[in-house]
Chain A
Amino acid sequence: MMDYALFLGCIIPYRLPQMEAAARKTLQKFDVNLHEMQGAGCCSDPAATPALDYKAALAVAANNICIAEEMELNILNLCNGCFHSLKLSNETLKNKPRLKEQINEILAHVGKEFKGTINIRHLLEVMYKDIGLERIKDKIKTPFNDLKVSVHYGCHVLRPSNVLNVDDPLRPESLDRLVKVTGAESIKYMQKMNCCNYCVRVVDKDISLKLSAGKMKQVKQAQADCIVLLCPGCFMQFDLSQKEIIRLLEEEMFSIPVLSYSQLLGLAMDIPAKELGFQFHRVKLKKLFEKPALFA
């Protein structure tokens, strides 16, 4: 039995609850016990708050970490951005005593103190390193037969690798192997390691979508059936904005469904599509899958 304080952040619970539902449903089957973090808020966002004031960003992140310290539990993140913000802040404050002192002075105003007693984890690590491929394989009911997946890791689960320490930042393989264990194929495609450019949106939406279009084109050329990813920011970009992105390619319209890893795994474990929240996707994926019964 593994126990974690579940850090949800903002986008997953308040925009893409299907990612949360799929993660909870699948983790449950591996005896991962999730504890709710009362009063947790924004992680600080890898782009916005640190750009405004790095100390404020550290304080916002540390405020969340303090909640889990009081629960005496390590934090499990579903979102790459939250994982990045919290882990970077946690490690920075653990290693820089003077900065920790300054941040604790800020936190004293809100009745908190950062102690540095817990660790920050991402769903990818917990699935790959703790639960492991063998145990996942045992739980798969109907493996996929012929499903070509474009795997997209997302920047904030990999970089900076010396701090996050999840996988090789240039040639990661954890998510590819987790996809393969469901019977699906992780295809090779150009620009696989490229950023989704969601973070550019707040400053310049046109440039953000233009850059995503380059990646989308490669996914199409590699004849992927779907994109499998981890991060809700990437999900927003590739699912919610997919039509706008493809329009920029000035090609014939096409659509490529987007799934979080937990959703893909959920289907392989025969969890009904409705429970995994596929009805809330903008790009519909009913037709593409070999499991019509799950979509009934």
Chain B
Amino acid sequence: MTAVKQRVEDSDIDPNFKYELANILGEKALLHCFQCGTCTSSCPVADDVDIKPHQVIGMTLLGLKGKLLQSKTIWLCAACLECAENCPRGVRSFYLQSVLKNLAARANNLPEGIREEGEIILTTGLAIPISSGILKRREKLGLPDLTPPAAETFQKIAEVTGLASLLSKKGGKEK
């Protein structure tokens, strides 16, 4: 049973949702989707999600904001950009889904893996920790010493964009 086939109540619908998203995206292509399913057929994870990429667009157009923002499957994405590349209507589904994720994260729907990744990037400036073993490998390969990034710069960006408080909530709770 897919999510779009479930009964929809009037109260589930936010008719302005699609305009809100088109506005954030800065383009109206989203409104031109004719549900051909090219995005879904080119998506590597389509078999593993219960709301398929074209259904995400369909539900957006219907205004099913709450259902989408609480969905776990909008987060399962290979970021391969096939959907954005192949759409005959110029709907860049990947970017639409990114904006949905931005909103979902603020609605307390944020997978722990993504939160952790975001936290390490925006507190240290690097996506992975520096290990002494790798630094030894660098030395053996004759590679130059690296200056690690200024962590404060990344922390400041997180603070100004309101991400800092979001990222510090482990499992949705304040640490």
Please tell me if B17 contacts chain A, counting CB pairs below 8 Å. no
**A-contacting residues of B (Cβ < 8 Å)?**
24, 26, 44-45, 48, 75-82, 84-85, 92, 98-99, 101-102, 105, 110-111, 113-114, 116-118, 121-122, 125-131, 134, 137-138, 141-144, 146-150, 152-154, 156-158, 160-163, 166-167
A-B contacts, 14 listed (Cβ < 8 Å): A20-B141, A48-B127, A51-B118, A52-B102, A53-B162, A53-B163, A155-B79, A156-B79, A159-B80, A159-B81, A159-B82, A201-B113, A203-B114, A207-B76
- From residue B47, how far is it (CB to closest CB) to chain A in Å? 9
Among A54-62, A216-224, A284-292, the stretch that binds chain B is A54-62
A residues within 8 A CB of B105?
Answer: 51-53
- Asked whether A18 lies within 8 Å of B141 as measured between CB atoms, the reply is yes
**Complex Cα distance A194/B43, Å?**
10
Given contacts A50-B98, A51-B102, A53-B162, contact A59 B157 (CB under 8 A): yes
Beyond A49-B122, A54-B99, 17 additional pairs, beta carbon < 8 A: A14-B128, A14-B129, A14-B130, A14-B131, A15-B128, A17-B134, A18-B141, A20-B143, A42-B125, A45-B121, A51-B98, A52-B102, A54-B98, A59-B157, A197-B45, A199-B77, A200-B78
**B-contacting residues of A (Cβ < 8 Å)?**
8-11, 13-15, 17-18, 20-21, 24, 36, 38-42, 44-56, 59-60, 63, 96, 99, 106, 109-110, 155-156, 159-161, 169, 194-195, 197, 199-204, 207, 211, 275, 277, 280
A residues within 8 A CB of B117?
Answer: 45, 47-48, 202
B residues within 8 A CB of A161?
Answer: 85
**Complex Cα distance A195/B77, Å?**
11
A-B contact count (CB 8 A): 185
**Complex Cα distance A237/B114, Å?**
18
